[in-house]
């Protein structure tokens, strides 16, 4: 259960403060997110914390390693290719990141990378809150760079029911990725898209080549 205090103010001359306290079930995610939308402290992964980031990432995805991606982002030093550790107060609860495939002029997209929540903090609304915060970050970039129209992610539908449920809730478009000659998780690869503007005229990815095979090779790079 959680406790919320609300102060109501009205009348420019007279200010009446009413403190309202009530209890709600934090497992009710709609109510929880309405009143307690979290903002995490995002710490960019750098040379000083890359080992902490890699160890934490492996605790979430033990079969994959983000070290190669993190090292490449440090080398490129770009806002459009960066990864973050997410802290709730002093507790490390998740990771997130953004990157781009090829030139933004061609793809009009930024992508979600290495997104995950520590197992001990799952089913508490943290995943949606961190995804929303990452989308807000991309929207800020899009305000200043009109080339960016979409925020996308790819994932596998296999053994990934909870994550896919979240993506279907938050993102706008779901499509299969079946590009011939590219890695696609044995036919289970999905692409989810968030439209940052209203038009969405070319929002579908339509099986354009992503070179996921090259990304999976990067995941084999170890510290």
Same domain for 103 and 16, yes or no, is no
pLDDT tens figures, 76-87? 999 999 999 999
Do 31 and 105 lie in one domain? The reply is: no
pLDDT > 70? residue 17:
no
Residue 176 pLDDT greater than 70, yes or no: yes
* Residues in Cβ contact with 177 at an 8 Å cutoff, skipping those fewer than 6 apart: 154, 184, 189, 190, 191, 205, 207, 210, 212
pLDDT band at 29 (very low <50, low <70, confident <90, very high): low
Residue 39's contacts (CB-CB under 8 Å, 6 or more residues apart) are: 129, 133
Arithmetic mean of pLDDT, 10-28: 41
For residues 26 and 43, state if they share a domain: no
Q: How far apart are CA 59 and CA 64, in angstroms?
A: 10
Residues 31 and 77 in one domain: no
Are 28 and 58 contained in the same domain?
A: no
Domain tally, the chain: 2
Residues 149 and 99 in one domain: yes
Residues of the domain holding 158 = 37-218
**Helices (DSSP H) in the chain: which residue ranges?**
29-35, 50-60, 67-76, 104-107, 126-144, 161-170, 212-218
Same domain, 134 and 27: no
Is 107 in the same domain as 207? yes
Check whether 186 has a pLDDT greater than 50: yes
Question: Considering the domain boundaries, does residue 176 fall inside one?
Answer: yes
CA-CA-CA-CA dihedral for 84, 137, 122, 53, to nearest 10: 0
The 10s digit of each residue's pLDDT in 101-160 is 878 888 999 999 999 999 999 999 999 999 999 999 999 999 999 999 999 999 999 989
This model's pTM is above 0.85 = no
Q: Are residues 44 and 139 in the same domain?
A: yes
Confirm whether 223 is domain-assigned.
no
Domain containing residue 64: CATH number: 3.40.630.30
- Is residue 53 situated within a structural domain? yes
Residue 176 shares a structural domain with residue 86: yes
* 135 domain-assigned: yes
């Amino acid at each position: 259960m959680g406790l919320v205090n609300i102060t109501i103010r009205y009348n420019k001359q007279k200010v009446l403060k009413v403190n309202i306290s009530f209890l709600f079930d934090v497992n009710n995610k709609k109510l929880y997110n309405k009143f307690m939308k979290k903002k995490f402290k995002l710490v960019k992964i750098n040379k000083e914390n890359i080992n902490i980031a890699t160890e934490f990432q492996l605790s979430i995805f033990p079969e994959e390693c983000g070290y190669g991606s993190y090292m490449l982002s440090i080398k490129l030093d770009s806002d459009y290719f960066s990864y973050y550790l997410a802290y709730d107060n002093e507790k490390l609860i998740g990771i997130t990141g953004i990157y781009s495939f090829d030139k933004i002029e061609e793809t009009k997209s930024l992508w979600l990378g290495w997104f995950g929540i520590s197992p001990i903090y799952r089913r508490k609304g943290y995943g949606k809150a961190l995804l929303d915060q990452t989308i807000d970050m991309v929207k800020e970039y899009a305000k200043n760079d009109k080339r960016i129209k979409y925020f996308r992610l790819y994932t596998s539908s296999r053994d990934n029911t909870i994550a896919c449920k979240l993506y279907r809730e938050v993102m706008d478009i779901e499509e299969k990725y079946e590009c011939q000659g590219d890695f696609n998780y044995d036919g289970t690869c999905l692409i989810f898209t968030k439209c940052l503007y209203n038009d969405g005229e070319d929002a579908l990815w339509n099986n354009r080549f992503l070179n996921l095979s090259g990304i999976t090779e990067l995941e084999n790079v170890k510290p």
